[in-house]
Amino acid sequence: MKRYPLIVFDWDGTLMDSTAAIVRAIQAASRDLDLPEPPDHQARHVIGLGLADALGMAVPELPKARYAEMVERYRHHYLSRDHELVLFEGVADMIEELASAGWQLAVATGKSRLGLDRALRYSGLERFFNGSRCADECHSKPHPQMLLELMTEFGVSPNETLMIGDTSHDLLMARNAQVDALGVTYGAHPGEHLDEFGAVHCFDSVTELSAWLREHA
């Protein structure tokens, strides 16, 4: 019997090695609008939020009247190269193993629906995921709406659901939904930061994460 019949993954920085590309796109969009270019750590911190929220936080000098322009420039820079991004080593095998063993798998992401669908298609993982929620369909993390809707869709309780992510936004969303969470330290937020937000455990590699899921999930 599975402890967590539903496992929900964040996408960027958890399954796909996209953190650096997101940071570069935020910085390039800032230059396009003649705004101060945020340092890497500032741009990394907002990964996982809905795009407009993320850009506004990463570039506090951005006037609200120019949010749409900033979003367009970010998407221009990111989408021109997103098909070149790769999954973290071991992710494809882990996801296929979990799906084959009967877990229900879902994604809760700060990406748009268009962006997630592109990523699922390019990565080859689309067939393994049974559901997903995106930031343009729900409140942005750390609001619990994404997890609450997925639990309703799959007919599971918070005690039967596990969230896995690389940012404090993921862990806070899980806390707000009363769901257990695992953190991964190879993405956007460092391990010492994730430790503050109540993860059941944090992992430094996909190999470690996969082994824990086989034994404990």
**At which residue do the structure tokens 């330290």 appear?**
185
Pairing state between β 104-108 and 6-9: parallel
Query: What is d(CA 85, CA 123) in angstroms, rounded to the nearest whole number?
Result: 9
Q: What is the pLDDT along the chain (217 residues), one digit of tens a residue?
A: 789 999 999 999 999 999 999 999 999 999 999 999 999 999 988 888 888 888 889 999 999 899 999 999 999 999 888 888 999 999 999 999 999 999 999 999 999 999 999 999 999 999 999 999 999 999 999 999 999 999 999 999 999 999 999 999 999 999 999 999 999 999 988 888 888 888 999 999 999 999 999 999 9
Residue 16, beta-bridge partner list? 12, 87
Residues 141, 201: Cα–Cα separation, whole Å? 20
**What is the set of domains in the chain, with CATH numbers?**
6-17+85-216 (3.40.50.1000), 19-83 (1.10.150)
- Do the Cβ atoms of 29 and 73 come closer than 8 Å? yes
Confirm whether 34 is a catalytic residue: no
Are 169 and 143 spatial neighbours (Cβ–Cβ below 8 Å)?
no
Q: CB within 8 A of 49, min separation 6: which ones? A: 57, 110, 135, 140, 141, 169
Task: State the pLDDT at residue 190.
Answer: 82
Burial of 204 (0-12, 13-18, 19+ CB in 10 A): exposed
Question: What is the three-class DSSP state of 88?
Answer: coil
List the catalytic residue out of 12, 82, 166, 180: 12
Q: Is 17 marked active-site?
A: no
Rounded-to-integer distance, Cα 8 and Cα 133, Å: 10
The half-sphere exposure of 103 on its side-chain side, counting CA atoms within 13 A, is 24
